[in-house]
Amino acid sequence: MEVLGIILAGVLINNFVFMQYLGLCPFLGVSKDLNMATGMSGAVIFVITVASTVTAALEQYVLKPLELEYLRTIVYILVIASFVQLVEIFMKKTLPGLYQALGIYLPLITTNCAVLGAAMLNVTKSYGVVLSTLSGFAGAVGWSLAIIIFAGIRERWKLMDIPATLDGFPLALISTGLMSLAFLGFSGLFANLVK
Amino acid sequence: MNKNKASLGYDFIKGFIQENPTFSLAVGMCPTLAVTTSLVNGFWMGVAVIFVLTFSNVFVSLLRKVIPDEIRIPVFIILIATPVVIVELVMKAYMPAMYNILGIFVPLIVVNCIIFHRAEAFAYRNPVLNSAMDALGSGMAFTLNLMLIGGIREFLGTGQIAFGSAVFPKVPLFEPAAVMLTPPGGFITLGALMALLNIAVARASKRKKSESQVG
């Protein structure tokens, strides 16, 4: 049941974009077209899931036994940055097709605060390695859901007559706000499952 | 000498208008929305960012001739993460309540695009004093933005604004809407502020145009 709770919380109830304000820069930046949003989602799901596993393992087996928790921020960000670099090099060599599709988004992910945010949230909830991986994955899926819905909405703007003062960021933020209002409706659901 | 002084002033001022982090560059959106449920929260987040930004800009600028171009990103990350850890530890020790309110957004200053953007776009190419002024300007502008958004949300959401022990009293007949303190309120406030700014800019440029036509 805890597993179900983590998945529901990650995807809907504590959605990264709408409820926790994580990963807003790429959310607003790469949501102009649906294909790009899908590509970015793939990259984000992959990186957040693996980064959650690695950081949770580091926390449990290195930082905690050595009492180095105060170095968490530095260690995590270095691990995430080098991991993203590694994935980039590895994919360029072995999976050129996938690299072509995701390549341009990978460097952007280092500064996506959702990656470090997911790792930090796992620590505050003191999940183990397995649950951290799951929670990271669920959060990333929630982020992808948000950006894909939003890209679909943004594509329709092209057909609409938008007032010049609202064009661009203002309308994007207000639309996000309205979507977030809809997601606010999920809060409190399954209260016995989600902590 | 005089020219250098003028450019120092410009590096400080430009953060407020042309290169305003929130309203013209649209960077650092996550903390801008996440911590602005009140004016005080916005203020302390801003102070933390000013410290980190000044520290990282000064050190990036000092080391800019030593850092090899290929590995500059990891070096920047270390130069940014160090002051963030300092802020984290100081806040945890002296302001535990505020540290709990800001939560994971204190360590997340590390991935705040403003700081990376200033390091890459300015400090890596400019002398130390200019970089320090640039950091102070951008940081203070960011703080003002956070306080503005936080103040609006706090007022609309609770009907009052509290700063330290000073509290602006409630306005009669004004019914606060708690939704302004929730995430949707944040998105809509910032969207509306940006739209208002667009209107102001459009009006100003129109007036300029008509003035120049008359003249």
The tens digit of pLDDT for each residue in B113-145 reads: 888 888 888 899 899 999 999 999 999 999 999
What is the pairing mode between strands B166-168 and B161-163?
A: antiparallel
Q: Domain locations in chain A?
A: 2-184
pLDDT tens for A74-108 read: 899 888 888 888 877 877 888 787 777 666 667 67
Residue B45: is its pLDDT beyond 90?
A: yes
Cβ–Cβ gap A78/B74 under 8 Å: yes
Complex-level ipTM: 0.85
pLDDT tens for A153-191 read: 998 888 888 888 888 889 999 999 999 999 988 887 777
Collect contacts of B158-167 with beta carbons under 8 A, ≥24 apart.
B158/B38, B161/B38, B161/B39, B162/B38, B162/B39, B162/B40, B163/B39, B163/B40, B163/B43, B164/B40
Mind telling me how many Å the CA of B199 is from chain A's nearest CA? 6
Cβ–Cβ gap B195/A176 under 8 Å: no
List chain A residues with CB under 8 Å of B73. Answer: 81, 110
User: If you ran DSSP here, which 8-state letter would residue B71 be given?
Assistant: G
Report which residue type is found at B71: I
| Closest residue by Cα to residue B140 from B35, B51, B60 | B51
Tell me how far apart the alpha carbons of residues B13 and B19 are, in angstroms, rounded to a whole number.
Answer: 9
Q: Give the pLDDT of residue B213.
A: 65
CB A148 within 8 A of CB A38: yes
Cβ–Cβ gap B191/A170 under 8 Å: yes
Lowest-pLDDT range of A59-63, A80-84, B23-27: B23-27
Q: Give the pLDDT of residue B138.
A: 92
Tell me how far apart the alpha carbons of residues A25 and A21 are, in angstroms, rounded to a whole number.
Answer: 10
Cβ–Cβ gap A177/B184 under 8 Å: yes
| Closest residue by Cα to residue A26 from A113, A133, A89 | A113
* Minimal-distance CA residue of chain A relative to B36: A21
Tell me how far apart the alpha carbons of residues A183 and A13 are, in angstroms, rounded to a whole number.
Answer: 7
Residue pairs between chains A and B whose CB atoms are closer than 8 Å: 122
Mind telling me how many Å the CA of B89 is from chain A's nearest CA? 8
Tell me how far apart the alpha carbons of residues A172 and A178 are, in angstroms, rounded to a whole number.
Answer: 10
List chain B residues with CB under 8 Å of A166. Answer: 195, 198
Check if B82 contacts A (Cβ < 8 Å): yes
Distance of CA B163 to the CA centre of its chain: 19
Average pLDDT over chain B, rounded to whole? 86
Check if A153 contacts B (Cβ < 8 Å): no
Mind telling me how many Å the CA of B98 is from chain A's nearest CA? 16
Tell me how far apart the alpha carbons of residues B207 and A36 are, in angstroms, rounded to a whole number.
Answer: 40
pLDDT tens for A47-58 read: 899 999 999 999
For residue A143, the SS3 value is helix
Mind telling me how many Å the CA of B4 is from chain A's nearest CA? 33
pLDDT tens for B143-168 read: 999 999 999 999 888 888 887 667 77
Give the number of other CB atoms < 10 A from CB of residue B163. 14
Interface test with A, best of B22, B36, B187 (most A CBs within 10 A): B187
Tell me how far apart the alpha carbons of residues B189 and A44 are, in angstroms, rounded to a whole number.
Answer: 28
Mind telling me how many Å the CA of A18 is from chain B's nearest CA? 7
Rg (CA), chain A: 18
CB B163 within 8 A of CB B39: yes
> Greater confidence, A121 or A97?
A121
List chain A residues with CB under 8 Å of B191. Answer: 169-174, 176-177
Residue B3: is its pLDDT beyond 60?
A: no
